[in-house]
Amino acid sequence: MKLLKPIKGLVVAAAVAVTSIAATAIPVSAQSVIVDIQKRGTLRVGMATFVPWAMRDQEGNLIGFEIDVAKKVAADMGVEVEFVPTAWSGIIPALLAKKFDVIIGGMSITPQRNLTVNFTRPYAHSGQQMASNVALAGGFTSMDDYNDPSVTISCRRGATPCNFAQKRFPKATLRRFDDDAQAFQEVVNGNAHATISSAPKPRFWADGYPDKIFVANDGKNLSRGDEAFALRKGDVDALNFFSNWILANTSNRWLDETHAYWFDDQSAWKDMVAK
């Protein structure tokens, strides 16, 4: 049996090596994903639930800003749309593994992400807002008051707000959560001074808990975000098609109007979601 041990180690090492080689050797497809989509007759869209970008109505169907966007893209291409709800932390690996054709998920353009995926021109500009606890942060006079070791800021892991918080408030303690609702709940409970999230969510939460939460920075956004579709690298045709789809629908104001419907006032669609 002693002789067996080194061999066993080798087998395991070989298995690991084969897997990693296979993983790096994903062939770059010569054919554009646009052709694949038309051949298949369906556009597969990767997205994650995030109010009001994408959420469930009372019947369990997907609704929201980017759901409307994806449906219109598919309609303009003459194909059906298929949504692939995906955990946010794994959405880029899933795109690379061809689980879907494109991410239409309110993903903000960042240089780090751009090294892995291609971004179209932005189709929305939402930016970050901060929701603060009235009791803990009501007395703060400037945004720099948040940059203090005694201040706790919660955010959703892997999302832009976490990186933003780290840069803007480097001294504050960050608490990362798997989803937004938990990050907000920490603020409502008074365990965190504030949370940063994409607009207009902090405003919606302030509406829901007016005596617990307020939108910091006098209700103004802390930064401007650029959200774009994300595609696999090396597909110029798809990048051109989606970018120009966004250009055309920015010019004819369709994107602005749809964005306004979902983001400006939640009363228009609140009945579809809430009870």
Examine residue 35 and tell whether it contacts another protein (CB under 8 A).
no
Closer to another protein by Cβ: residue 49 or 250: 49
CA atoms within 13 A on the CB side of 12: 6
Query: Which CB atom, from 32 or from 49, has the smaller least distance to another protein?
Result: 49
Structure tokens that stand for 26 in this block: 């994903």
Q: How far apart are CA 227 and CA 124, in angstroms?
A: 5
| Interface with another protein in residues 173-232 (CB under 8 A) | 178-182, 184-185, 188-190, 205, 208-209, 212
Name residues whose C-beta falls within 8 Å of residue 149's C-beta, 6 or more positions apart in sequence: 171, 172, 173
Q: Which is nearer to another protein, 24 or 150 (CB)?
A: 24
Total number of residues binding another protein (CB under 8 A)? 46
**Strand pairing partners for 174?**
153
Q: Which two tokens stand for residue 35?
A: 């052709």
Q: Where are the beta strands (DSSP E) in the chain?
A: 42-47, 55-56, 62-63, 80-85, 102-108, 118-119, 128-133, 152-156, 173-177, 194-198, 213-215, 227-231
- The single residue among 7, 28, 30, 115 that binds another protein, judged by CB under 8 A, is 7
- 6, 23, 28, 141: residue in contact with another protein (rule CB under 8 A): 23
Under 8 Å between Cβ of 196 and 222: yes
Answer for which of 60, 111, 139, 149 binds another protein (CB under 8 A) is 60
Interaction between residue 59 and another protein (CB under 8 A): yes
Assess 270 for contact with another protein (CB under 8 A).
Answer: no
List contacts with another protein (CB under 8 A).
4, 7-8, 11-12, 15, 19-20, 22-23, 49-51, 55-56, 58-60, 82, 84-87, 90, 93-94, 97-99, 178-182, 184-185, 188-190, 205, 208-209, 212, 273-275
